[in-house]
């Protein structure tokens, strides 16, 4: 047993060693914090004594091809409160509630909330914001902000789109070009005490916002207006569910106009279109209903449908306008001559199926030119037989019908086609006149443009260039092209045949004195066939010998007469009557005028 003195000495040494060990550990820890974690703790300290507020960047404007403003900004304010800086809470609550037209209860919840900064209301008009600034209420902050506005209201609203409360794009060009239009927000850094109070005399740090770039588009305000007026007249005359029109330059893919009526007001995108507020009862009859009785999920579903652009997001059976593609495939395969003769008794037998022509009594003997002018189904079923499924699909691929067009709008759908191995005689026959598969209207327009423009597949688009308004620097936007998808000879021949359709055939209601118009009619029966609902359409272009404009109109579920040649062709005539002179396409004396 150790003597007491030796025992105590050992304990003292152990205690000293323990103390030294702890001190060493603390020294190492302090060194680690000072050397390796200094930046982290400096940032944490900065968060305590600095308050950051965002300065919103001005969103880039959107213009039409002639400089007409389609979307711009309005100066507004965002009103916030800083809890620790409020000296007279009851006065702040009363003034804010009265000035911002809010309940005192709603304002009180925000004012009494313990947070570094609490937003009371955004999109406050500048006059009101300036008034609140003048009151000099401690703890009340008024920051400048921007609200997106659309001077043209409901014109092209599905195309241009709109932004949300954070000024980010929701649909249309606004969301597709959000990175270009959005800009970069700035910040204000305010130095505060540990209690969140501003330090007198401390300078504010400020990072200026960078405004977004302006977007120049191919849309033409006047042509868009012409199309809307023609669609409105048609909508009222036919009682249709919707009327859609898209006009494009078939040489380069620039979209001049795109509309589907009825349209919503982009300044009030959450206000429902009243004419669309209905349900179909068990008899298929429209029964109106009240917006306020809908559940939140039903309201969301309705709004998404209202904002939807059917010209790019919906597919349909194109019907006889697709005979443009069937003809092209046969000519490209070398199995068809214009002088080839056919016989139409009013139907054509394919395996065990009797497939009727739209003219049940038949067209009798006719050559191919007469067949396309008459839009005769038996003629097209026969030329599809000659072409075969593989050659037919080869042309589809060249015309881009198995892929999205690449249009610069969100939500584009793709075609719904048979697999090649599943195409039998009946499928091939029905495909020849635009049934048993589905494409988008824009896919049809793009394919037809390739057929008549000399054989170049273009990318339909709206964006033309982006410009920095401060520096004037311009960035041109480029789009893919595919050359020689159709031979020049076939393209020229198709232009002549489609001109004959308007001059002498089913499209004669699109004839316009002084102009050579080419085109094709269609009457598509919607699924299920038993519902007996139709889409009447017409695809037209001018001048026929050198197309500069191409347009497609779709009349969805017209009441009464539903034939494309009867009700759709005149719509294109009306649009072309104003658009062609406006575009500087001069009248010429044509053979039809003599």
Active site (catalytic) residues: 320
Secondary structure of residue 484 in the 3-state scheme: coil
For 465-480, b where at least 16 C-beta lie within 10 A, e where not — what string?
ebbeeeeeeeeebebe
For 137-250, list the strands marked E by DSSP: 140-149, 186-191, 205-207, 214-217, 242-248
Q: Are 201 and 561 in contact (CB under 8 A)?
A: no
- CA-closest candidate to residue 164, choices 277, 309, 303: 303
CA atoms within 13 A on the CB side of 342: 27
The DSSP-derived string for 46-110 is HHHHEEEEEEPPPPPPEE-TTS-EEEEEEEEEEEEE-GGG-S-HHHHHHHHHHHHT--HHHHHHH
Assigned token pair, 329: 């495939």
CA–CA gap between residue 291 and residue 321 (Å, rounded): 38
195 CB-contact burial (10 Å; exposed 0-12 / middle 13-18 / buried 19+): exposed
Please state the φ and ψ torsions of residue 73, each to the nearest 5 degrees: -125, 150
In 3-state terms the chain splits into helix, strand, coil percentages (rounded to 5) of 40, 25, 35
CA–CA gap between residue 354 and residue 141 (Å, rounded): 77
CA–CA gap between residue 398 and residue 259 (Å, rounded): 28
**First-residue to last-residue Cα distance in the chain:** 137
Distance of CA 478 to the CA centre of its chain: 18
Distance of CA 189 to the CA centre of its chain: 38
Assigned token pair, 577: 């009557």
**Angle at the Cα of 19 from the Cα atoms of 18 and 22, rounded to 5 degrees:** 85
136 CB-contact burial (10 Å; exposed 0-12 / middle 13-18 / buried 19+): exposed
CA–CA gap between residue 139 and residue 197 (Å, rounded): 9
Q: Are 150 and 71 in contact (CB under 8 A)?
A: yes
Assigned token pair, 27: 């020294």
Return the number of other C-beta atoms located less than 10 Å from residue 250's C-beta: 24
CA–CA gap between residue 33 and residue 25 (Å, rounded): 12
The DSSP-derived string for 374-397 is HT-HHHHHHHHHHHHHHHHHHHHH
CA–CA gap between residue 441 and residue 555 (Å, rounded): 12
């Amino acid at each position: 047993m150790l003597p007491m003195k030796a025992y105590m000495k050992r304990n003292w040494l152990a205690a000293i060693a323990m103390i030294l060990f702890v001190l060493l550990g603390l020294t190492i820890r302090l060194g680690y914090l000072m050397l390796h974690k200094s930046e982290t703790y400096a940032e944490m300290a900065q968060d305590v004594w600095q308050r950051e507020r965002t300065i919103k960047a001005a969103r880039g404007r959107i213009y039409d091809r002639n400089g007409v403003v389609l979307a711009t900004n309005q100066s507004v304010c965002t009103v916030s409160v800083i809890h620790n800086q409020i000296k007279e809470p009851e006065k702040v609550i009363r003034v804010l509630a009265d000035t911002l037209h809010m309940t005192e209860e709603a304002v009180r919840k925000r004012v009494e909330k313990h947070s570094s900064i609490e937003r009371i209301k955004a999109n406050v008009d500048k006059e009101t914001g300036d008034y609140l600034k003048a009151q000099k209420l401690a703890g009340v902050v008024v920051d400048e902000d921007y609200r997106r506005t659309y001077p043209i209201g409901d014109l092209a609203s599905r195309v241009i789109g709109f932004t949300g409360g954070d000024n980010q794009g929701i649909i249309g060009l606004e969301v597709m070009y959000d990175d270009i239009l959005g800009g970069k927000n700035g910040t204000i850094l305010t130095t505060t005490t540990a209690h969140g109070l501003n330090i007198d005399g401390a300078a504010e740090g400020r990072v200026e916002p960078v405004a977004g770039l302006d977007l120049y588009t191919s849309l033409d305000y006047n042509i868009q207006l012409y199309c809307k007026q023609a669609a409105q007249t048609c909508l009222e005359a036919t009682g249709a569910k919707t009327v859609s029109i898209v006009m494009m330059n078939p040489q380069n893919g620039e979209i001049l106009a795109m509309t589907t009526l009825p349209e919503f007001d982009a300044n009030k995108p959450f206000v429902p279109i009243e004419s669309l507020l209905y349900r179909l009862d068990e008899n298929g009859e429209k029964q109106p209903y009240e917006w306020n009785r809908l559940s939140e999920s039903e309201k969301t579903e309705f709004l998404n449908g209202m904002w939807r652009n059917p010209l790019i997001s919906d597919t349909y059976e194109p019907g006889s306008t697709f005979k443009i593609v069937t003809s092209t495939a046969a000519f490209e395969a070398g199995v068809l001559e214009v002088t080839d003769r056919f016989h139409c008794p009013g139907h054509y037998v394919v395996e065990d199926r009797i497939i009727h022509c739209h003219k049940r009594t038949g067209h009798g003997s006719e050559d191919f030119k007469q067949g396309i002018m008459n839009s005769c189904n038996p003629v097209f079923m026969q030329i599809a037989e000659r072409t075969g499924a593989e050659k037919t699909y080869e042309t589809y691929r060249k015309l881009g019908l198995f892929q999205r067009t690449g249009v610069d709008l969100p939500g584009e759908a793709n075609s719904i086609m048979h697999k090649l191995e599943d195409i039998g005689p009946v499928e091939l026959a029905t495909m020849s006149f635009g049934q048993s598969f589905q494409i988008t209207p824009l896919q049809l327009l793009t394919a037809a443009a390739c057929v008549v423009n000399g054989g170049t597949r273009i990318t339909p688009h709206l964006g033309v260039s982006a410009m920095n308004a401060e520096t004037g620097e311009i960035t041109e936007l480029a789009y893919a092209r595919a050359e020689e998808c159709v031979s020049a000879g076939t393209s020229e021949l198709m232009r002549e045949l489609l001109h004959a359709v308007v001059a002498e055939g089913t499209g004669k209601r699109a004839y316009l004195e002084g102009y050579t118009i080419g085109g094709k009619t269609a009457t598509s029966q919607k699924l299920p066939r038993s519902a007996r609902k139709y889409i009447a359409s017409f695809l037209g272009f001018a001048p026929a010998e050198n197309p500069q404009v191409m347009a497609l109109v779709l009349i969805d579920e017209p009441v009464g007469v539903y034939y494309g040649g009867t009700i759709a062709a005149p719509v294109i005539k009306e649009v072309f009557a104003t658009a062609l002179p406006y575009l500087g396409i001069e009248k010429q004396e044509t053979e039809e005028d003599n």
